[in-house]
Structure 1
Amino acid sequence: MANSDLAAIEAVLHTYFDGLHEGDTEKLAASFHACSHLYSAEDGGLLDQPRATWFDRVRNRPAPSKAGLARHDQILFIDQSGPDTAIAKVACAIPPRFFTDYLSLLKTAEGWKIVSKIFRTEMREG
């Protein structure tokens, strides 16, 4: 992995963390491609959420930063399989919800973008 790619991918992930903590959909939009979707297992089924639906939810909930919630952001690993494909595993939280995210990234004409997010939620004390 080229150092410039690693730095660019890390920057996208940190913008994602900031957008999530601040409830800032402009920062999230800078990280997530317009066609991106979020996926999780829910009650034995699959939840498939387009980016726009997720952004509506973010806009309509209190921002974790304004609620004084601590950040729990961590990049667990980044694996780049080619010049334009990568996956990252990250941890983040909106206590008491703690998330493990698997983020698929593609290098587009606009730079690295998250194109899909598969996530797991765990409820616990923060």
Structure 2
Amino acid sequence: MAEHDQAEIEKLLGRYFDGLYNSDSAMLRTVFHDDLVYVNGTAGDYEIKGLEAYMARIDKRTPPVSRGDAREEQIERITLKGDRIGIVEARMTMMGRNYQDLLTLINTDDGWRVLTKVFSFVERKG
């Protein structure tokens, strides 16, 4: 993986984590592709949305930062296939949940963007 791609993707993921924690749809729009597919794969909570429906949900959410929610995140793996597509495995803890994300990336004229977000979560214990 080229160093400039690695750096750009890490910055993208920084905005992703910050945007989620702050419920900042404007920031998240710089992360997601216009054709985003959002899939909650959690058992009993399966749903699929596009970008606008997901951003509407973000706009209605009480930002975790405003509640002082604990926040923890980690990029577990970045894998690129050539210079146009890739996948990220990441995790984030917030809102009393442990999230596991699989994010597919596409390199656009505007740089790397998340094209699909497939995730699941489990409630935190204690």
Q: Give the deviation of 1:71 after TM superposition.
A: 1.2
Structure 1 unpaired stretches of 5+: none
Number of aligned positions between the proteins: 126
Q: Report if the CA contact (8 A) 2:98-2:124 is conserved.
A: yes
Q: Distance in 1 between matches of 2:107 and 2:36?
A: 14
Tell me the C-alpha RMSD between the 2 structures: 1.6
1:101 aligns with 101
Q: Give the deviation of 1:41 after TM superposition.
A: 2.7
Structure 2 unpaired stretches of 5+: none
Q: Distance in 2 between matches of 1:15 and 1:47?
A: 24
List aligned pairs for 1:1-126, cutoff 5 A.
Answer: 1-41=1-41, 43=43, 46-125=46-125
Distance 1:45 1:62, change over 3 A: closer
Instruction: Describe the SS at the equivalent of 2:68.
Output: coil
Q: What is the one-letter code of the residue matched to 1:108? A: T
TM-score, length-normalised on structure 2?
0.93
Identity level (%): 31
Q: Distance in 1 between matches of 2:74 and 2:45?
A: 28
Runs of 4+ in 1 over 4 A off after TM superposition: 42-46
Instruction: Describe the SS at the equivalent of 2:63.
Output: coil
Q: Give the deviation of 1:94 after TM superposition.
A: 2.3
Q: Give per-residue Cα distances to partners, 1:9-61, cap 9 Å, x unaligned.
A: 11111100000001100110000011101112355685211111111111111
Q: Distance in 2 between matches of 1:42 and 1:102?
A: 13
Q: Distance in 2 between matches of 1:2 and 1:36?
A: 25
Q: Report if the CA contact (8 A) 1:69-1:95 is conserved.
A: yes
Q: Give the deviation of 1:123 after TM superposition.
A: 0.6
Q: What is the one-letter code of the residue matched to 2:109? A: A
Q: Distance in 1 between matches of 2:96 and 2:44?
A: 22
Q: Distance in 1 between matches of 2:6 and 2:124?
A: 32
Instruction: Describe the SS at the equivalent of 1:77.
Output: strand
